[in-house]
Amino acid sequence: MSDNQEYINSSAENELLRLRADCGQCFGLCCAALPFAKSSDFAMDKAAGQPCHNLKEDFRCGIHSRLRDSGMRGCTVYDCFGAGQKVSMITYSGVDWREAPSTAALMFEVFPVMRQLHELLWYMTEALSWPAAAPVHAAMTAARDTTEQLTLQEPEAVLKLDIPGLRYEINELLLQASELTRQAVRSSLKPAPARQKNYGRGADLIGARMKKADLRCVSLRGAYLIAADLSGADLRAADLIGADFRDTNICGADLSTSLFLTQFQVNAAKGDAATRLPATLARPDHWSSR
């Protein structure tokens, strides 16, 4: 690897770390802005804009250490891609919604929009670290810089953004980056992977038995992998953007170089100490330690 590529990879990793949630710099926005319904993930109903009764005055969670035991599993899965601290410390300059109640309603509307922008920033930053995606790096850099500028606008301007249109434009670049990278990795593998099934976007793989499957370089974009068994599977260079990992068994699986894997997906899955993850993602506390 060249010195220049090492620098690019290091810069991308640092940027991705900046896009990880920092609850200590947030006004408990996910606990106040977002709605949830009583279910297997949440022990109660909560309306959008209604602060959770477990949210303390310092914006910390009163039951953080026992969320899953309290029926609030959904809280341990959620990830905001750093949008919480952006809205709290940048958009609203560190003035919280309790200190300035008149800002609460608008702040709570801005937060989920900011999360979508930060998710796009995560994907683009990751793609810019892939050498094989160099043909789209210039366009990707321009799109990332533009998106970053959108996150710095006033709250009213953020709410007027055409997020679906922005997602469509950026997704075209992400798809090109993925195809270039997977093709390059596939051609370098020795021995080459066996002939692999091509999974279309949104593939129904709910409960699928794919234990120890060779899924290197496969596209699983948007696949429904709910409760699927991917234990021991090899998912290196597999495109996982938008894949639904709820209760997916990835114990012992290798996702160390999976493409577009996020903390949200990892948190939703069932892993263990043998699961291999990218350096930019954290191993969830609720995973098995065996």
Instruction: Write out pLDDT tens, residues 235-267.
Output: 999 999 999 999 999 999 999 999 999 999 999
| Domain segments of the chain as ranges | 3-34+78-184, 196-290
Cβ-proximal residues to 10 (8 Å cutoff; 6+ apart), any chain: none
Closest CA relative to residue 125, chosen from 250, 286, 14, 246: 14
Note the residue count of the chain. Answer: 290
Give the phi and the psi of residue 8 in degrees, each rounded to 5: -60, -45
Q: What is the mean pLDDT of the chain?
A: 93
Name the CATH code of domain 196-290 (choices 2.160.20.80, 3.40.50.12780, 3.30.70.270, 1.10.10.10). 2.160.20.80
CA–centroid distance for 49 within its chain: 23
Mean of pLDDT values over 59-82: 95
Closest CA relative to residue 125, chosen from 149, 141, 142: 141
Q: What pTM, to 2 d.p., does this model score?
A: 0.92
Q: Tokens 């021991």 map to which residue?
A: 232
